Amino acid sequence: MIPSYRPLYEKLSQAGPAGDVAWNFEKFLVGRDGRVIARFKSRVEPDDPALVEAIERALDAPPREDAG
């Protein structure tokens, strides 16, 4: 692994469900504040209703008070 990627990889690996990033098509939904909101495994298609709903909820959510 390229050393400069390690902090990002470690943070993403801790996102639920925690564990190694299994493949390059694993998806992470990151909020406006930089926190991981959701993690979707490689087998989840980009148009999967659960993924689409999570994105829409994140876009509709007001910014967090403690962000920044």
Please tell me the predicted confidence (pLDDT) of residue 67. 55
Please tell me the predicted confidence (pLDDT) of residue 17. 74
Secondary structure element (H or E) that encloses residue 30, with its range: strand 27-30
- pLDDT tens figures, 47-68: 999 999 999 999 998 887 765 5
Domain ranges for the chain: 3-60
Can you tell me the distance from the alpha carbon of 68 to that of 64, in angstroms, rounded to the nearest whole number?
Answer: 9
Asked if residue 36 lies in contact with residue 58, where contact means CB atoms within 8 angstroms, the answer is: no
| Helix runs in the chain, H state only | 6-13, 49-60
Can you tell me the distance from the alpha carbon of 53 to that of 41, in angstroms, rounded to the nearest whole number?
Answer: 16
Please tell me the predicted confidence (pLDDT) of residue 66. 67
> What torsion do the CA atoms of 31, 34, 22, 1 make, to the nearest 10 degrees?
160
Please tell me the predicted confidence (pLDDT) of residue 1. 56
- pLDDT tens figures, 2-40: 667 788 878 888 877 777 787 778 899 999 888 899 999
